[in-house]
Amino acid sequence: MGMVDITQKPVVKRKAVACGKIYLYPSTIQAVKSGEIKKGDPLLVAEVSAMNSAKQTHLLIPHCHQIPLDSVELKSVIKEDYIELFCTVKAQARTGVEMEALVGVTSALNTIWDMVKYLEKDPDGQYPDTRITDIRVIEKLKEMNQ
């Protein structure tokens, strides 16, 4: 057993989009919107986290190939009690980039949690309502004709 040999596969344009949500107190969401988070802008830091993590997926998941990525983009949608993130990864490669998109969005969601956790703790230091959910690949494309 080992890494799958992709030598014979053609290099093609690939794209994957992964998304996920982090549920937070409405007061925490308001603090994010108004720029009141002590550690800075969680959405900006989450974007950097997604880029760094996607590029290092091969170091985190043993059977993933090292893929030179063309782009990593993170978009956010802020609702009353959650933030939804969408991580889009593109590359010209012999294998798909869905794992990179999943690692990117997961790392970004964890980054947001880290930056707002002081607002989410209950009196016992627990997180009874904070949760990360719905992490999934919502799009995977492979362009066969270049």
Nearest-angstrom CA–CA distance, 30 and 141: 36
Instruction: State the catalytic residues.
Output: 114
CB 12 within 8 A of CB 92: yes
C-alpha pair distances (Å), 77 with each of 43, 85, 86, 92, 124 = 10, 6, 8, 28, 30
- Count other C-beta atoms under 10 Å from residue 60's C-beta: 12
Residue with tokens 């093609």: 12
